[in-house]
Amino acid sequence: MVTVTEDKLRVVYVGRDIELRIISLLVRAQEISQEVVLVDLGSSDSTIELAEDFGCQVLNYGNQLNACDLAKFLSNSSLSENYNSLIIMVTQEWKLRELPVIVNRSREAWDIYFSFVKSDTAEKINEDDLVIASLGINHLFLSSSGLTGLANSTELSTAMNFSSDYKVRIIESSGQVNLPQRESLATASRFAQLFYWMLETKHPLFLFGIPGIVLFILGYKLSGNVVDTFSELNSVSIGVTLTTIAMTLIGLFAMMVAIILYIMGKQVEQIQSQYKWNKLDDKVS
């Protein structure tokens, strides 16, 4: 039996037009593997540029997409040897939270572990009799020797065609695994995202608007209590009354300042966009 524990792990993403997800995918893969590779299926967006800027090796794949041809492509590429390859098909349905479960395949000492896309038929199937090249890829783990063995297989090969030296398993992919996820303050809710953005940008509605609302409400509430509490005119009642009035007026003034600054900021942004001042400043600098 072939051992795979001494080889390093390589994560291979296969997909196209995933520019919105590629950075998060690469960061997570870099944490768990020694090498990350993107097999691009013909992206028309910025997927390749983002991956290359991140330092990821990109391979352009134009052949028929199946496990056998993909193994031949990787085997004939310039990738380093003595790596276990964890190949993941990135689709709209595949979620990043499934990665830890898939990574466990690299610790189970398989030479070839092929999880294929679940079929629509409800009939029970025998995975060992299925033709590997006809199955859609969900994820695929190959040891360094398993990659060579799958690359040398034929288009009609099944799990039973591999010699006893290979530890092979072909299994239908199960449903998505729901794992408890931790959320940061910035992603917990829409309100948290707005609050974080206002803190970072020093937005006038936050710097002046919120304190103004608080002062105005407190002054308004206290003014009614002052009128009911003090029945005679003295220095204490006058001082408290003036304080509540000042608090209310300061709150009202702060809210007006926040609205004015917000409107002025929007006007300045519109003027800069109209006359392209930002581009002129960049050229001067």
* Rounded Cα gap, residues 277 and 284, in angstroms: 11
**Residue 82 and residue 130 in one domain:** yes
Has residue 179 been placed in a domain?
no
pLDDT, one tens digit per residue, over 44-92 is 999 999 999 999 999 999 888 899 999 999 999 988 888 999 999 998 8
| pLDDT for position 229 | 59
pTM for this structure?
A: 0.58
State how far the alpha carbon of 277 is from the alpha carbons of 84, 124, 268, 271, 274, in Å: 53, 66, 10, 8, 8
Has residue 71 been placed in a domain?
yes
Q: End of a domain among 111, 142, 172?
A: 172
Whether the predicted pLDDT of 283 surpasses 60: no
Domain assignment of residue 32, given as a range: 8-172
DSSP notation for 179-234: ------HHHH-HHHHHHHHHHHHT-HIIIIIHHHHHHHHHHHHHHHHHHHH--S--
pLDDT, one tens digit per residue, over 120-145 is 555 666 776 788 888 888 899 999 88
Could you count the other beta carbons within 10 Å of the beta carbon of residue 170?
Answer: 21
* Rounded Cα gap, residues 52 and 18, in angstroms: 14
**Residue 17 and residue 130 in one domain:** yes
Has residue 2 been placed in a domain?
no
**Residue 150 and residue 209 in one domain:** no
| pLDDT for position 4 | 42
**Residue 246 and residue 106 in one domain:** no
